C-alpha cells in the first residue's frame, strides 16, 4: 500500500500507481454504443500519516465521503466510476484510470497534492476540487490538470466530457449557485457501509445564513441558505438501510419553515437522526420539540467560546453566552444530546481559558465536546485579517487541523495554546468528568455512554500522541500532525 511520505513509486518506476507509461499519452477510452467511455477514480485523501497512532474514537471513520458519492452520481451514464476513501483503504500501487478526481479540505491538501503529483508523472489526468481548491485555485492548479471551483453540480459532466475529448480546461467555475432540486441520489453502492460508524448520510440544506469570520462554509457556498425539496430528501432517506441518519447540514434549522416540514416527514418515517444546528434554535422552541418528536437524538452546536467579546469579534452575533446553559437544558428536556464545540486562541483568550471552558462544560452537563484550536482557513475573513497583521507563521496546510497553533495568539504563546488544548481534552474526558456530567436527563442513555467512553479512549491516546509530537516538533522543527477532528 502507498504510504504518505515518498512511498509513491519513484518516477523511474512508471509501471505502477497509474496508467502504464506506454499508455500515458492518451486517454484509454473505448466506444460503447457510440460514446466514449472514461474510467474515473475518485479519491478522498487521508488526514494523518500512517505512522501515527490511531486518532479516532472509533476505529472506523464516522462518515463516508458524501461529496464524492454525489460527484459519482453526477457522472453521465456510460462511464466507469470507482471510489477510494483512504480512511478505510489504501491506495493501490497499480491504480489505473483515465481521470482521477481528488477532493481535499485544507488539512488534507498536502496529501491530495502528493497523490496528484505522482499520478500526473505517470500520465494520469487529475482534477482537484473541494473547499481548499476553491479557496486557493491557483495553488491547486500547480498539482492538477483541472480545478473545479465551488460545487460540482453543473460542472462535473462537462469535466468528464472534456476529459473524454482530451480538452480539459484549467479551471471550471459555475456562474451561479446550483439548484438543489432534482439531484441524483449519492452512489452509496461504491462504499462498504460496514467501514463507517454512520454510513447513512444525507444533506437537506446547503450553506449557512450567518457569516462567521473563521468559517469556510460561506466562502465555499456563498452567504446563502438553500434547501432541497423535502420529497426528494425523504425518497433518499427511505431507501437507506436500517440505522440512524446523519444529516451533513451546516445548520439544519436555518430555515424554520422548511425544518418543520422536514421534521414532520421524518417523524412519519420513524428514523433516528442527528445533525448540526445553531444557538438560534432557542428562538423557536417548538422547532426543538418537533425535531425531538421526529427522531433527533443528537445535535452538534457551535458554542465556540465563553467570551461575548470573542463572539462579536468573529461576527458570531447569533450566540449569547448567557443562553448556553438554557440551550443544554432545553435539549436535554426533549431527550436530545448536545455535542458542544469550543475553540481556543481567540483574541480575548488568556491561559486560563481552558480551565474555565472545561468547568463550564461540566457544570452545564454538556454530553460531549469537540475542542480545537482556532484555525485561519484560507478563503475566510479570519485568514485575511491575521495575514494582514503578520500573525500567521505556519503555512504547512497539514497543520490546519484544529490541533496546531498556526498563528500567534494575542494573550498567550503558541506553545501555551497547544498545551492548553491537550489539558482541556484530557480533563473533559476524564473518568470523573464523565461521571459528573451524567447527572442529567440523558446521563443513563446509550448515546451518552457510548459517545463518552469512545471519546475518552480517543482523548487519552490523542493527547498522549500530540504531547509526544509537540516535543518532537520542537526538536526537529515540525514533523507530525495528529488531527483533532474525526
User: Pseudo-torsion of CA 51, 56, 61, 63, nearest 10°?
Assistant: -140
- pLDDT tens for 166-176 read 999 999 998 88
- pLDDT tens for 36-87 read 789 999 999 987 554 344 444 446 788 999 999 999 999 999 999 999 999 9
Strand 146-149 versus strand 171-173 pairing type = parallel
Residue 150 half-sphere exposure toward CB, CA atoms < 13 A: 16
Parts of the chain with a pLDDT under 70: 1-35, 48-59, 443-444, 473, 476-486
Spell out the domains of the chain, with CATH numbers in brackets. Answer: 21-173 (3.40.50.280), 200-476 (3.20.20.70)
**What's the pLDDT at 10?**
31
How far is it, in rounded angstroms, from Cα 418 to Cα 353?
Answer: 12
Q: Which residues pair with 392 in a beta bridge?
A: 407
Between the CA of residue 447 and those of 134, 183, 432, what are the distances in Å?
Answer: 36, 32, 18
Segments in 334-380 forming alpha helices (H): 353-364
Q: What is the DSSP annotation of 168-233?
A: --SEEE-SSPPP-TTPPPP-GGGS-GGGSSS--EE-SEEE-SS--TT-HHHHHH-S-EEE--HHHH
**What's the pLDDT at 175?**
85
How far is it, in rounded angstroms, from Cα 479 to Cα 472?
Answer: 7
Angle at 435 (CA atoms; ends 434, 437), nearest 5 degrees: 65
- pLDDT tens for 13-24 read 333 343 333 333
Among residues 244, 440, 455, 220, the alpha carbon closest in space to that of 330 is found at: 440
How far is it, in rounded angstroms, from Cα 250 to Cα 204?
Answer: 10
Q: Which residues pair with 273 in a beta bridge?
A: 245, 296
Q: Helices 324-333 and 353-364, interaxial angle, to 10°? A: 30
Segments in 334-445 forming alpha helices (H): 353-364, 381-388, 414-428, 431-437
Among residues 413, 426, 422, the alpha carbon closest in space to that of 470 is found at: 422
Secondary structure of residue 146 in the 3-state scheme = strand
Give the containing element (helix H, strand E) for 409: none
- pLDDT tens for 253-295 read 999 999 999 999 999 999 999 999 999 999 999 999 999 999 9
> Is 469 in contact with 480 (CB distance < 8 Å)?
yes
Q: In what order do the strands lie in the sheet with 99-103?
A: 80-85, 39-44, 99-103, 125-129, 146-149, 171-173
**What's the pLDDT at 444?**
66
Q: Helices 285-293 and 324-333, interaxial angle, to 10°? A: 40
Cell readout for 327 is 440551550
Count the Cβ atoms, other than its own, within 10 Å of residue 251: 23
Amino acid at each position: 500500500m502507498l504510504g504518505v511520505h515518498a512511498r509513491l513509486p519513484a518516477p523511474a518506476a512508471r509501471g505502477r500507481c497509474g496508467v502504464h507509461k506506454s499508455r500515458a499519452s492518451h486517454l484509454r477510452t473505448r466506444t460503447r454504443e457510440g460514446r466514449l467511455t472514461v474510467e474515473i477514480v475518485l479519491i478522498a485523501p487521508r488526514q494523518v500519516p500512517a505512522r501515527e497512532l490511531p486518532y479516532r474514537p472509533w476505529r472506523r471513520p464516522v462518515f463516508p465521503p458524501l461529496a464524492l458519492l454525489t460527484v459519482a452520481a453526477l457522472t453521465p451514464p456510460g462511464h466507469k466510476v470507482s471510489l477510494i476513501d483512504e480512511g478505510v483503504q489504501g491506495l493501490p500501487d497499480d491504480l489505473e484510470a483515465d481521470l482521477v478526481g481528488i477532493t481535499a479540505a485544507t488539512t488534507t491538501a498536502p496529501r491530495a497534492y502528493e497523490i496528484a503529483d505522482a499520478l500526473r508523472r505517470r500520465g494520469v489526468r487529475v482534477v482537484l476540487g473541494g473547499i481548499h481548491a476553491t479557496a486557493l485555485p491557483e495553488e491547486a492548479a500547480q498539482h492538477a490538470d483541472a480545478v473545479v471551483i465551488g460545487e460540482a453540480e453543473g460542472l462535473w459532466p462537462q469535466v468528464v466530457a472534456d476529459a473524454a475529448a482530451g480538452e480539459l480546461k484549467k479551471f471550471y467555475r459555475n456562474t451561479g449557485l446550483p439548484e438543489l432540486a432534482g439531484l441524483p441520489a449519492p452512489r452509496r453502492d461504491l462504499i462498504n457501509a460496514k467501514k463507517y460508524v454512520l454510513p447513512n448520510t444525507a444533506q437537506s440544506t446547503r450553506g449557512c445564513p450567518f457569516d462567521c469570520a473563521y468559517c469556510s462554509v460561506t466562502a465555499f457556498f456563498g452567504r446563502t441558505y438553500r434547501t432541497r425539496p423535502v420529497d426528494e430528501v425523504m425518497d433518499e432517506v427511505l431507501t437507506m438501510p436500517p440505522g440512524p441518519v446523519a444529516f451533513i447540514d451546516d445548520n439544519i434549522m436555518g430555515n424554520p419553515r422548511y425544518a418543520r416540514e422536514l421534521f414532520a416527514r421524518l417523524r412519519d418515517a420513524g428514523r433516528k437522526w442527528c445533525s448540526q444546528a445553531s444557538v438560534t434554535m432557542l428562538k423557536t422552541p417548538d422547532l426543538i420539540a418537533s425535531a425531538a418528536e421526529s427522531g433527533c437524538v443528537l445535535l452538534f452546536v457551535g458554542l465556540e467560546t465563553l467570551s461575548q467579546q470573542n463572539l462579536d469579534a468573529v461576527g458570531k452575533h447569533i450566540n449569547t453566552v448567557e443562553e448556553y446553559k438554557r440551550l443544554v437544558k432545553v435539549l436535554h428536556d426533549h431527550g436530545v444530546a448536545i455535542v458542544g464545540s469550543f475553540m481556543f486562541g481567540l483574541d480575548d483568550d488568556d491561559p486560563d481559558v481552558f480551565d474555565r471552558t472545561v468547568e463550564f462544560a461540566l457544570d452545564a452537563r454538556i454530553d460531549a465536546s469537540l475542542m480545537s484550536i482556532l484555525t485561519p482557513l484560507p478563503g475566510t475573513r479570519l485568514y485575511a485579517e491575521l495575514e494582514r497583521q503578520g500573525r500567521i507563521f505556519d503555512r504547512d496546510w497539514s497543520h490546519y487541523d484544529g490541533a496546531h497553533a498556526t498563528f500567534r495568539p494575542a494573550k498567550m504563546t503558541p506553545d501555551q495554546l497547544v498545551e492548553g488544548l491537550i489539558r482541556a481534552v484530557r480533563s473533559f474526558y476524564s473518568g470523573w468528568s464523565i461521571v459528573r456530567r451524567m447527572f442529567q436527563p440523558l446521563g443513563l442513555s446509550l448515546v451518552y455512554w457510548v459517545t463518552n467512553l469512545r471519546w475518552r479512549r480517543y482523548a487519552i491516546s490523542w493527547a498522549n500522541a500530540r504531547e509526544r509530537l509537540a516535543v518532537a516538533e520542537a526538536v526537529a522543527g515540525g514533523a507530525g500532525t495528529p488531527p483533532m477532528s474525526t
